[in-house]
Amino acid sequence: MASKIFLNLAVKDLKKSLDFFTTLGFSFNPQFTDASATCMIIGENIFAMLVTEQRFKDFTKKEICNAHKYTEVLIAIDVDSREKVDEMVKIAVGAGGSIYMELQDHGWMYGHSFADLDGHQWEIMYMDENAIPK
């Protein structure tokens, strides 16, 4: 089993992405940050490497996906309340992101989605596992 997860996401403007995600309350590991990439801390062992497109090209033989036009990945994050879901999406939109999917309320699962500055889809959800229908 893996001990850590690192998502690698291509970004057009690292500074703007850093500002966007800082506004959302994320922090960054300075040990893995330079002019071409930064390590965003999502959870205890979950990280997103935000990598400039130029540097990202060093890691793949394929074209970089235009996430505004195509879906490359869905990133889902579980938070601790419905209010936190609403708050994060509101902050993301205020910081230049956009609503991606409308709010979904399934009773035990509550979620909403936004697209970041580069079009990556972030699903923010709250799950009450004790309320899952049996």
Segment 37-61, tens digit of pLDDT: 999 999 999 999 999 999 999 999 9
Instruction: Extract the tokens encoding 116.
Output: 């970041």
What are the tens digits of pLDDT across the range 70-125? Answer: 998 999 999 999 999 999 999 999 999 999 999 999 999 999 999 999 999 999 99
What is the DSSP annotation of 67-124?
A: TTTS---EEEEE-S-HHHHHHHHHHHHHTT-EE-S--EE-SSEEEEEEE-TT--EEEE
**Bridge partners (DSSP) listed for residue 82:** none
The two three-digit tokens of residue 39, written as one number: 């390590």
The pTM assigned to this predicted structure is: 0.91
Domains of the chain: 1-57 (3.10.180.10), 73-134 (3.10.180.10)
